[in-house]
Each structure stands twice: as C-alpha cells, then as structure tokens.
Structure 1
C-alpha cells in the first residue's frame, strides 16, 4: 500500500488557487481510480483506490497547508506506511508554470506544507512531486500569489500540468520513482 498526499487548503475560499494544485492532482486520480467518495479521517479527506495492482491511499489534509504533516503522519501511523511508500504532491512557485519536478528526497524548498511533513516525519527522505506555479511577479508578495487563482490564460496550461502529474503519480505507483522522474521531470512536451 502506498500513500499519495496532495497538499492544499480546505474550503471554498481556496478552491482553484495556485496553492491547491496538489489537491487537484489527487482529485484527478480519484476520479479515475477510486470507487467511493472517501471519508474524513486523520484530519484529512481519504480515499482508497487501485492503480494497476497497487493499492493507493489518496489523502488531502484538511489541516491547512502549514500543518499538512500532521494528517500525513496520522495516516502513515495507522496504515503502517513507510516513508518509502509516500509521495507528497505540492505547488512550487520557484518553478515555472507547467513544470514538474519529481525527487526521491531533499529540502522543502520553502514549501510550508512539505516543510511541516519533513518536520513531522523527522526525515527529508520523502518523495515529492512539485508542480510549478511561478514565477511570482515582482509586484506580488509570494504569500498572496500562492493564494490567488490562475488567470484564464493559465488555466489550459494548468489542466495539462495536472494531467501530466496524474500520469507521473501513476507511473511512480506502478513502476517506481526513477522511471517516473525520467519520463515526467521538466516542462511540457513540445507540441508537434
């Protein structure tokens, strides 16, 4: 069993904001693979699904971004999931919109939900899939930027990015992080 935790903020106010792109990836996976609507458990929205022969738990922590690790830790403890079987999906305003960056470990890169997860689990050996939402315009405060909504011009790019992230998670679950990194890291494939 593996756990995919998509990070974001709960509630209508935060729907479709840049910070919630991790939720969007988990919701995309749930639409394709989950047979039920899930339930609130471990301070998060939790769904079970089957991807190929791999059982996946899809988690959207409802603790707000900066406390995401608490929900992830509770879920991992209950299901006895090791950090080797965890993938955190989150936004990254340091990466250009459309870019995916999958890594097996590393720093939080300033992403508060990932930072809390590393703190809660007491290790940075956590696979993460970052979705670029940047760059932050010079006149914007990064905190305001991540809580803003994508522009109408950005929405098509975001849909494509979420689709690619969905495919990257599926590859990670079935075939491992090395193959997923080689297939999906970087910007969108060139058209034509």
Structure 2
C-alpha cells in the first residue's frame, strides 16, 4: 500500500511532443514600422494571419517572435526572426536546435519576384534565387535541402528599381486581393503539417 502511495506522490514526467509532429513555420521579413506593409514582408504577414486564425499570440523570444499553434495533434511554431532579412538563418538554426525540429519539418515563407502576384510555389529544396534571407539560412544550415514556400510578388518594376519595388508597399488592388491569398496560404501551411509536403505541393502549387 505504501509503495502505491509513493508512486502517486512522484511527479509524472512532462509529456514530450513527438519530434515528427513538431513543425517550424518561418515567415521572413524585416522588423520596423517602415517595413510592415512592404512586399518583402509577406512571410511575416502570412504567419500573422495563421496565428490570428488560431487565436495564438506572439511572444518576444531569442532572435525573434514566436507563437505556438496546436493543430490535430501537431504543434506548429510560428517564427518571425528579428535579425533582419540578411541574418534570418541565425533564428532558424537556433529554434530548430532548441525544439529539435528536423529540417524536413521546417517551412520557410518568402517573397519571390519570379512568380506572378499571389502565386504559391512550395518546394522541398532549391537555390536561394538571390534572396538574402534564403541565402543566410542556406549558409548556416549548410544545405539547400529544406522546404520553402515562395509567394509571388511579380516583377512589375522598371530597370534599376528592384530594391524600391521589393521594399515598397502593396498597391490598393494588391491589398484587396491579398485577403483571399492569406487564407489560401494559411491552408497551404496547415496542409504541410497535416498532409505532408508532396500532397501540399500537388494541391497548392500554382493555385
């Protein structure tokens, strides 16, 4: 009887989350009021939308802001690095290691000049495509083999105006269309965690 009582007195270990059910969803962007509504910050906007959809709040943490979403037995860590775009890899590397998340379970959301506005392209790996955020992630992870979610911002700018365009704000027509694009993007992220990369690519690429 005493043995049973002693067993009840012992604290049960904290339940561990299965590493394969943990996902790191990284929205790339730049911190600061001047960047909030720029095309380059679409990654931030998509994870903001996803957090709001699930009533999750971001907390300031090491190297960024983090929100946690529970989704049908999965745990999604939504990360917005505060390192500025060019050093995004520091935050990605730190939180992957801290939460023991495999690289196939991370999804990096970024803008892409080579895709028409609002087009989604999800891939299991690839080059940085000249994107400084992806370039730094590749450098610190020492691989190009990690899933990424490219959101098209189009290349509708005059020669020599690329930086102004990327760091410029959406026009009124784009802002209106973004409302629906955020919903589709959030569905794609959820599909990545629930249905897997291959099924998500088939369902959402080009959508």
Unmatched segments (≥5 aa) in structure 1: 188-192
Distance 2:143 2:91 in 1: 16
Deviation at 1:140, TM superposition (A): 4.9
| Alignment of 1:61 onto 2:81 | yes
Deviation at 1:159, TM superposition (A): 2.1
Distance 1:158 1:67 in 2: 27
| Alignment of 1:170 onto 2:185 | no
Distance 2:147 2:51 in 1: 20
State the match for 2:161 in structure 1. Answer: 141
Unmatched segments (≥5 aa) in structure 2: 1-21
More strand by share: 1
Q: For the Cα contact (< 8 Å) 1:172–1:180, is it kept in 2?
A: yes
State the match for 1:73 in structure 2. Answer: 93
Q: For the Cα contact (< 8 Å) 1:87–1:129, is it kept in 2?
A: yes
Deviation at 1:153, TM superposition (A): 1.4
* Counterpart among 125, 137, 146 of residue 117 in structure 1: 137
Deviations 1:1-37 (A, max 9, x none): 11000000011110110000000110011012244x2
4+ long deviations beyond 6 Å: none
State the match for 2:113 in structure 1. Answer: 93
* Counterpart among 127, 131, 139 of residue 151 in structure 2: 131
| Alignment of 1:17 onto 2:51 | no
State the match for 1:82 in structure 2. Answer: 102
Determine which structure has more spread, i.e. the larger CA radius of gyration: 2
* Counterpart among 166, 173, 177 of residue 157 in structure 1: 177
Describe the SS at the equivalent of 2:115: strand
Describe the SS at the equivalent of 1:67: helix
Deviation at 1:87, TM superposition (A): 0.4
Distance 2:157 2:58 in 1: 37
Deviation at 1:42, TM superposition (A): 2.4
